[in-house]
């Protein structure tokens, strides 16, 4: 066989998605890949039924169905305080996953550098390699996952084309403070760098903290490429709906990448998802409150295991320090958990640049009953370690 592409040798298949397959194989409660086990809002299900009988079974406009983009622009105006032109500032994508790839490919040339905070969502390293860019890693230091200003500044001095920012952050649960974001913006302006943000958890920020939308910071819009998704906000990860929001100049490029990568996101799902985008304000506060309850419930079980863990300020992931359990590494621990405890998590090393094998990542986007069942099983783990 001829030799396949060398660029694929620099990364593995997703460890997160691999853990879901392992969990399914062993019938474990799946707290690895972050997705809910509860239904989307009733309004979305009804709209989906209607859409199946409508005239939306062929390609939508490649950069997004007009009705969907208009609803998206209204929702962004309401929640992010930006005046978005649905025809010039948006490309609808297959999830934020495609949006990030489009963002990278629209801005980076082979050989360009990109700043990535570590730990990071595992897609970013693969996105960088696929677009030919070289990541420069800057550590987010536990327990509060702050960055060191000097380390960030020296990364910027290496003339990166872009910095990737996940806020709220997967996997740490960090919510970047306004002052931190202003510091990043100041450096990005000084070094003329794009800021590619990934914000699918914008509505999952636990009080008293609030989400700061990077593109809405003073002067930030033109250099910011916002990637976002409807997956988490409306509990529809399988619909694969996301978007890129950026200046008209960047969007003109992003449309080209998107058009030749995927042509478009599923047309009937775009029509149906308008019902989600039109949700009243109360929907978002109820969503946040229900996740705050799940968070409290799950963290209480973790506290009872006696294992140290992160306290997520946003999103729905927790990093648990499994060091005291004495496994040879996090992968061995994750496999033991799936097989013998019946709970799946993700080996933390897949999120770190540093050789860090002390953590498992769990998520709590599950029904309270599921979290109780998983929590009871995890308590056995605490005993195994004591």
Judged by the rule CB under 6 A, the positions of this chain that interact with ligand GLN are 16-17, 33-34, 97, 121, 170
Radius of gyration of the chain (CA): 20
Residue with smaller CB distance to ligand GLN, 121 or 301 = 121
Residue with smaller CB distance to ligand GLN, 152 or 346 = 346
In degrees and rounded to multiples of 5, residue 148 shows phi and psi of -90, 125
User: Shortest Cβ distance from residue 79 to ligand GLN (Å)?
Assistant: 20
**What b-and-e string marks burial along 4-31, b requiring 16 or more CB atoms within 10 Å of the CB?**
eeeeeeeeeebbbebbbebbeeeebbbb
Residue with smaller CB distance to ligand GLN, 86 or 200 = 200
User: Shortest Cβ distance from residue 226 to ligand GLN (Å)?
Assistant: 16
User: Shortest Cβ distance from residue 239 to ligand GLN (Å)?
Assistant: 12
Residue with smaller CB distance to ligand GLN, 156 or 239 = 239
Measuring CA to CA, how many Å separate 18 from each of 21, 25, 106, 195, 334?
A: 5, 11, 29, 30, 11
Residue with smaller CB distance to ligand GLN, 166 or 188 = 166
My answer on whether omega of the bond before 254 falls inside 30° of 0, hence cis, is no
Helices (H), 108-214: 123-130, 149-156, 178-190
User: Shortest Cβ distance from residue 352 to ligand GLN (Å)?
Assistant: 14
User: Shortest Cβ distance from residue 315 to ligand GLN (Å)?
Assistant: 9
User: Shortest Cβ distance from residue 96 to ligand GLN (Å)?
Assistant: 8
The bridge status of strand 113-118 relative to strand 162-166 is: parallel
User: CA 337 to CA 341: how far, in whole Å?
Assistant: 5
Closest CB to ligand GLN: residue number: 34
Residue with smaller CB distance to ligand GLN, 193 or 231 = 231
Q: How many residues would you count in the chain?
A: 386
């Amino acid at each position: 066989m001829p030799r396949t592409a060398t660029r694929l040798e620099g990364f593995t298949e997703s460890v997160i998605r691999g853990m879901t397959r392992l969990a399914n194989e062993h019938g474990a409660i799946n707290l690895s890949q972050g997705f809910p086990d509860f239904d989307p809002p009733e309004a979305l299900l009804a709209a989906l039924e209607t859409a199946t009988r409508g005239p939306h079974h062929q390609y939508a406009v490649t950069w997004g169905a007009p009705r969907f983009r208009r609803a998206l622009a209204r929702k962004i105006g309401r929640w992010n305080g930006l005046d978005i032109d649905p025809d010039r500032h948006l490309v609808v994508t297959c999830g934020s996953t495609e949006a990030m790839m489009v963002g990278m490919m629209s801005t980076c040339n082979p050989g360009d550098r990109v700043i990535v905070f570590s730990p990071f969502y595992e897609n970013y390293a693969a996105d960088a390699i696929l677009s030919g860019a070289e990541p420069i890693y800057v550590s987010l230091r536990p327990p509060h996952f702050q960055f060191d200003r000097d380390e960030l500044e020296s990364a910027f001095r290496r003339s990166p084309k872009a910095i990737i920012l996940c806020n709220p952050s997967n996997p740490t649960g960090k919510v970047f403070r306004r002052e931190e974001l202003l510091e990043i913006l100041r450096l990005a302006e000084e070094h003329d760098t794009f800021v590619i943000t990934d914000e699918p958890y914008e509505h999952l920020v636990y009080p008293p903290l609030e989400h700061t939308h990077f593109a809405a910071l003073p002067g930030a819009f033109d250099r910011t490429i916002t990637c976002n998704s409807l997956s988490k906000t409306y509990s529809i990860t399988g619909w694969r709906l996301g978007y890129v929001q950026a200046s008209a100049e960047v969007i003109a490029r992003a449309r080209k990448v998107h058009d030749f990568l995927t042509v478009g996101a599923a047309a009937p799902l775009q029509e149906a998802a308008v019902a989600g985008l039109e949700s009243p304000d109360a929907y978002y506060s109820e969503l946040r409150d229900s996740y705050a309850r799940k968070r409290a419930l799950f963290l209480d079980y973790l506290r009872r295991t006696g294992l140290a863990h992160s306290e997520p300020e946003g999103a729905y992931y927790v990093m648990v320090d499994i060091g005291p359990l004495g496994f040879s590494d996090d992968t061995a621990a994750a496999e033991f958990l799936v097989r013998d405890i019946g709970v799946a998590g993700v080996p933390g090393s897949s999120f770190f640049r540093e050789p860090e094998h002390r953590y498992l990542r769990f998520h709590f986007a599950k029904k309270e009953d599921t979290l109780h069942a998983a929590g009871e099983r995890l308590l056995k783990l605490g005993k195994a370690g004591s």
